[in-house]
Amino acid sequence: MNSQKKIEQEALETVIVELERNLEVLELNYRKAVTNLKSLRERVETDDLTKLMRRGAFMRKLGDLLIDSKETGDEVQLMMIDIDHFKAVNDNYGHQTGDVVLTRVAELVRQYLRTEDLAGRYGGEEIIVAMQVSSGEAQRIAENIRAAVQAQLQVSSARRQDAERAEAKTFHVTLSMGIASTQDFTYEADVLIGEADAALYRAKRGGRNKVLRAKNIKALSIAELVLEKAAA
């Protein structure tokens, strides 16, 4: 009887060991799958050129941020950033140079943001940022980004046919920026984007290379905004 129990005990221990090994394999495969899924999601959500979020991914995360912030009462700042005279860069220096400029601007933007802040490529040379900070802090960050780009980025290799034109020899990159706050408007993404965009184009209309807060400008009608964008 004791011998039979011993055999059964050994068999049970063998089964347990085998199950533990299988579990370890499953856990390893699960971790690999999670890592692969995360990598795939990042590739899908990340813009190839700027390494910022694609517009769709940004909008989804912005929606989540605004919902959470509304529940907690935290203030969210939405920032629209546009490279001044970007068309002139492409026309005078080539689209490859334009890509380099956009990439460097994106890198400088990321340098001044925290891990939890959101940054995406909204379209063309326009970058969108959302952060859970005060209005004053957002203004400070925006001014630091603007100043860094102005100080560090310039293009000095014009196309050969333009080499003799003084204005084409060196192009100093600058940014125009607009900021809208949930404290001044609403927790609705479309409203914040519209207000920040209006401030951005008012900055361009006012001479470019500046940061404007949406609450500090007069409301623009849709027709006025369209005209400003066409002239920018």
Query: Is residue 167 annotated as a catalytic residue, yes or no?
Result: no
8 Å CB contact between 79 and 142: yes
How is residue 211 written in tokens? 């940061």
- The CA distance from 52 to 127, in Å, is 9
How is residue 123 written in tokens? 């379209």
How is residue 152 written in tokens? 């560090």
Provide the strand spans (E) within 84-207. 118-123, 126-131, 154-155, 171-172, 175-181
Please tell me which residue in 125, 126, 137, 228 is annotated as part of the active site: 125
Q: Is 187 exposed, middle or buried (0-12, 13-18, 19+ CB in 10 A)?
A: middle
- The CA distance from 122 to 160, in Å, is 32
Sheet holding 77-83, edge to edge: 118-123, 126-131, 77-83, 175-181, 211-213
Closest CA to 97 of 109, 87, 107, 82: 87
- Give the catalytic positions in this structure: 125
